[in-house]
Amino acid sequence: MKLGFIGTGKITDAVVRGFCTSAVAGVEIFVSPRNTGIANALVEAFPNVQKMTTNQAVVDAAEIVFVAVRPPVALAVLSELRFSSAQQVISFVPLLKQADLFAAVQPATRVGRAIPLPSVVYHNCPIPLFNISPQIAELFRYIGQPLLVNSEAELHAIWTLTGLISPYYHLLYELSKWTISHGVAAETAHQYVADLFQSLSHMAQQQQPIDFKKLAAHAATPNGMNEQAAKEITEKGAHQVYAAACDRLLTRF
């Protein structure tokens, strides 16, 4: 299987490393030369990765082409490339809609969108997929957990949530900083905060069906610490701040 990557930024770096450290077999990977540092590092790390001289060379070599360039330049980059009808094209570009992508890569007709995040490097990442073939869905299973969505509107709503990664880490930072201020060693505080929220997410993943309100209610014993904190944070509107931020992010689509 020959995979090509147009754009060599953080996401391409993570996806390529994810594939190259997974159990997938017989994969050749071709990356564009745009980010020389990342491209060279991938070539040095993995014998099945080649850095091509141009984006067109990537397209010519690949059966499956992944587009991972910045939204403002995506259509301009694609307009300079010639695709074939036999190729599949998968876009990682947030604001590049399906219709525009489809028009830009003709005569290729097997065209879809996906949302891998940097955590694919650890093979632990939900990967929403829209208009994706079973072959591509199975390929993504090597680096994460494919999640098929029914419409582009659903995809955009889910993509909006990826804008909360930085705020999430800021929250963990503030909680860890508070813990340190109360005498806990920094290394211990950081480790506990990271592990605590990972374990809570893991617990939610085990529920069938997942019910966040039920989990919250179960943790909030009468007169307990969780009940007290949940009431205070809710009354101050902290949760609504996140929803409002998502509303504004969604308008960018």
Residue-wise pLDDT for 203-212, tens only, equals 999 999 999 9
Both structure tokens of 136: 């591509």
Report the pLDDT value the prediction gives residue 34, as an integer from 0 to 100. 84
The sheet with strand 49-51 has its strands ordered as 49-51, 28-31, 2-6, 64-67, 88-91, 110-114, 126-130, 145-148
Q: Where are the beta strands (DSSP E) in the chain?
A: 2-6, 28-31, 49-51, 64-67, 88-91, 110-114, 126-130, 145-148
* Percent of the chain predicted with pLDDT > 70: 100
Domains of the chain: 2-149 (3.40.50.720), 163-250 (1.10.3730.10)
146-204 confidence digits (pLDDT tens): 999 999 999 999 999 999 999 999 999 999 999 999 999 999 999 999 999 999 999 99
49-71 confidence digits (pLDDT tens): 999 999 999 999 999 999 999 99
